[in-house]
Amino acid sequence: MKKKIFILASFLGLLSACSQSIESTPTALPPNHLSTVVALTGQAAFATADALTQIVPPTEIPISTELPISLTEIPSPTPTFAAGFTDFAQIRFLTPGPASSLISPINLQMELVSGESEVVQVDLLGEDGRVLYRDLEKVTRNLKGIFRRFDLRFEIRAVSEAGYIRVSTKDDYGRIQALNTMPVLLYSVGAAQINPPGNMTYERVMVEGLKEKADFYAGEVGLKGRIWPFNDQPIFVELVLPDGRPISSRVLSFNGIDTQSFETTLPYKVSEPTLARLTFRQDNPLLSINDTELQRYMYVYSIEITLNP
């Protein structure tokens, strides 16, 4: 009897356990539980990756963590000139630099050594040579140079075009003493992007041993030095008298626009000591211009010398 009661109690306990097992359901996960797990797993993965990238073998190059340079930022180039080009240009551009993108007005800043006439001419030319802006200013001659600023205002019909800032000076006889050109890009709308002047601050002609009022004898001027051409056009070398007449000339041709050496002689005939202006000049073949004085000049360097019989 006791055995039957024990068996019956066991059977009832088993039924109770089964009932509880059937009725119980798994505890539901919170709605955001899965995304939380993914996020935590991702954070762990990135943390692991960061920890691994900090350990760099000696043969590997670590990736720079510096911020990238803005696309509109122009790094200043380091001038790499050949030996001898150390004289600052008589017309020295400070800003803008070559190929700058400019809108009106252009803020032109320069260091000038005015010619003996003490008159400086500033031109802004369009891509076909038309004059978009011109200014004549009296500047006291100072061999150390004088700072000058000009605001060049212009209008163009197109959205953009190539342009040239051209600055020139003359001596007291009206001969071109110096001329320098800065190629730029002109825009009717937009924002200016200013490039640094780079090597445009130096003269493009270097003649060995040549000084102002240097004496030459025996009907010959011997020249030796280096030139940095603006373009692939020939460079004309002339001896110009005070009345503007050239009495001797040479044409120098160069291969490319890198700095190159030259050596030449200019014969002359005079009956008494005569002051002449030794002039180096190069043209701009892209200009279609009718200018009897400055013509299509891209660059002019000159120095006065004395011709003796």
Please write the tens of the pLDDT for every residue from 198-217: 877 889 999 999 999 999 99
Query: Considering only 74-88, 132-146, 288-302, which range has the smallest mean pLDDT?
Result: 74-88
Position 17 in a domain:
no
Residue 97: is its pLDDT beyond 70?
A: yes
Query: Pseudo-torsion of CA 81, 82, 85, 91, nearest 10°?
Result: -40
- Is residue 18 scored above 50 in pLDDT? no
Taking residues 107-115, report their average pLDDT.
95
* pLDDT above 70 for 25: no
Which pLDDT score is estimated for 92?
Answer: 94
83 pLDDT tier (thresholds 50, 70, 90): low
Residue 49, domain member (yes or no): no
pLDDT tens, position by position, 124-165:
999 989 999 999 999 999 999 999 999 999 999 999 999 999
CB 269 within 8 A of CB 151: no
Q: Domain of residue 230: give its range.
A: 91-307
Q: In this structure, is residue 211 part of a structural domain?
A: yes
Q: How far apart are the first and last CA of the chain?
A: 157
Q: Which residue has the higher pLDDT, 118 or 46?
A: 118
Q: Is 32 among the domain residues?
A: no
Count of domains forming the chain = 1
With 50 as the cut, is the pLDDT of residue 14 above it? Answer: no
pLDDT at 123 over 50: yes
| Tokens (6 digits) for 55 | 């350990």
In this structure, is residue 39 part of a structural domain?
A: no
Does the residue 266 lie in any domain? yes
Per-residue pLDDT for 284 more than 80? Answer: yes
Q: Which residues have C-beta within 8 Å of that of residue 114, sequence separation ≥ 6?
A: 120, 139, 140, 141, 142, 146, 169
Using the CB atoms, write b or e for 118-134: b if 16+ within 10 Å: eebbbbbbbbebeebbe
**Would 74 be classed as within a structural domain?**
no
Q: What is the CATH number of the domain that holds 150?
A: 2.60.40.2550
**Residue 47 in domain:** no
Question: What's the pLDDT score for residue 287?
Answer: 87
